[in-house]
Amino acid sequence: MSLQPSSPAEVPSQTAAVARAAFPRGNAYMRLRDDFGTVFTDAQFTALFSSRGRPAEAPWRLALVTVLQFAESLSDRLAAEAARGRIDWKYLMGLDLTDPGFDASVLSEFRSRLVAGHAETLLLDTLLTLCRERRLLAARGRQRTDSTHVLGAVRSLNRLGCVTETLRAALNALAVAAPEWLRAHAEETWSERYAKPTDDLYVPQGEAARRAHAEQIGRDGHTLLAAVFSPDAPTWLREIPAVILLGRVWLQNFQIVSVDDETGTEVDADHSNPQTTQVVWRTTSEGIPPSLLMIASPYDPETHCAKKRTTTWIGYKVHLTETCDADRPRLITHVATTLAPVADRDALGSIHADLAAYDLLPDTHLVDAGYVDADLLLASTRNYAVTLLGPSPQDTQWQSRQSGAFRLQDFQIDWDRKIATCPAGHITTSWSPDHNLGRTVMRIRFSSADCKPCALKQNCTRSPRRLLTPRRREEHAALEAARAREVDGAFAEQYRWRAGIEGTLSLGVRTLHLRRARYLGLAKVHLQHVLTAAALNIGRIADWLAGETVASTRRSPFARLISQAA
């Protein structure tokens, strides 16, 4: 389809008259049109359309309808009907009352164009730009970030169910792409095992029986892969996505071993005795990939299993960042969608980089403990001049919990000479870096000859000698400064502003289904989250234009009574 850019028209007089008669006190969408205009223009979407072909529906109108659709949790069909029949929507888009609208399928095509053109954030960015022009949004203010889990749009499968459904999906794909080839290579028993969904199949009970069942599926999949990769098979069969995924899932869940025919024991592949190939179900002893690599569903390979405290889910994770200045509306400035097992701390760097690219970095960034670590405290200040405010990692060693015991702070560390001195005056030069899980610590060991006879040993260490593990010099200083800052009473006063982000997540979950993916694939799920954020911003802008202030946190009658008595 081609795009012939057009300028948004004024609201037709008849539409304006009917709308004002229907809403004498105004309407959120009418106020948005009066103060922000049409928000979007066709010129913003030129790169997403061809210069030739059938003329497309005006993309600025589709963008508006898409945001309103997410604001009211409407399906494509209901959103198209609202654009055709609702007066306030017609007023916002400047349409005649007799405008026939468009087919619902146009909305799906528009979203696909946004994903294909890597323009998932275009609608949110445009809205934020307009807010900056009207001084509703300013850089170097105060912002807050938090995350929540997102359930993928797939069934939750265990490992056995995943491999069964993966083989079934590959067989279905081959049945469409190469029916004659599959008919010639499929075994008779496969129809009984894979013709129906996994839930309809009988799975034997007992660990040994279930393992035997799993390995039978493994042999079937191995047979199919061997046929696909045989020299006489068409090469294009290997490029079918379901077949490629089958190979990945089989590599993650099965191990191919060679077994001696005479003894039944595993042997090397080049052993001279007759051998047969055996497909073995992987357990923890054989090695299972981490959840970040483990495929959880053949229908959305980017969903992964994750666990946070008592919550376990298969899907993704979304991070929302919003402003929280007292004199401006709360606006979501950034949305990050990550794979489910990615830790919060690993998303903070990209959040700051994206905010810096749009000149939206905060002066103070309020986060919970999952986003705070020594290297992040240092990087936020050094690279972006952002004060990262949140509970810092605490010293969990027993010395920090026992009165009179010697903590890390009680040792004198000469970073330039790499020398540490203990409270008893003993000196050590045993100093070496240790890299673990992306972090670097210094391992400073004192001598057993000094520690064992020391009179202060009972307050220092329960091991033969004391070991110190501070972070690198600048990271250690940043961590100590953060811990000292938390003791100050002003920290609690500043940090109380973070609580509002939990209300934003709750609003997104309860009213806009933020925690359930509508689509398959990380890119489309990210688009869903960006559109959800734009919808939340639209509502907050409309409330701000109407003069509505942010409500205070509700308190129970008992809590109010106690506070009054105090």
pLDDT at 276 over 80: no
Q: Which residues are paired to 148 by β-bridges?
A: 318
Confidence band of 268 (pLDDT split at 50, 70, 90): very low
Q: How confident is the model at residue 8 (pLDDT cuts 50, 70, 90)?
A: confident
**Mean of pLDDT values over 235-260:** 91
- pLDDT (0 to 100) of residue 441: 92
Whether 261 has a pLDDT exceeding 90, the answer reads no
CA 271 to centroid of chain Cα atoms = 48
Question: Is the pLDDT confidence value at 70 over 80?
Answer: yes
pLDDT score, position 262: 57
Q: pLDDT above 90 covers what percent of the chain?
A: 77
Is pLDDT above 80 for 1? no
Q: Is the pLDDT assigned to residue 269 strictly greater than 60?
A: no
H/E run at residue 323: strand 311-323
Q: What is the 8-class DSSP label of residue 471?
A: B
* Predicted pLDDT at 55: 78
437-443 long-range contacts, CB within 8 A, separation 24+: 439/373, 439/374, 439/375, 439/471, 440/471, 440/472, 441/469, 441/470, 441/471, 441/472, 442/468, 442/469, 442/470, 442/471, 442/472, 443/467, 443/468, 443/469
* Mean pLDDT along residues 282-311: 91
Per-residue pLDDT reduced to its tens digit, 158-198: 899 999 999 999 999 999 999 999 999 999 899 888 988 87
- pLDDT of 273 reads 41
Residue with tokens 């008919």: 183
Q: Can you give the pLDDT at residue 321?
A: 97
Mean pLDDT of 225-230: 94
Q: What token pair was written down for 473?
A: 């010099």
pTM score: 0.90
H helix or E strand, kind and range, residue 60: helix 59-71
**CA torsion angle for 61, 64, 65, 71 (degrees, to 10)?**
180
As a whole number, mean pLDDT of residues 48-76 equals 89
In this predicted model, what pLDDT tens digit does every residue of 369-420 receive, in sequence order? 999 999 999 999 999 999 999 999 988 899 999 999 999 999 999 999 999 9
Phi, psi (deg, nearest 5) at residue 285: -70, -35
Two tokens, residue 132? 């900056």
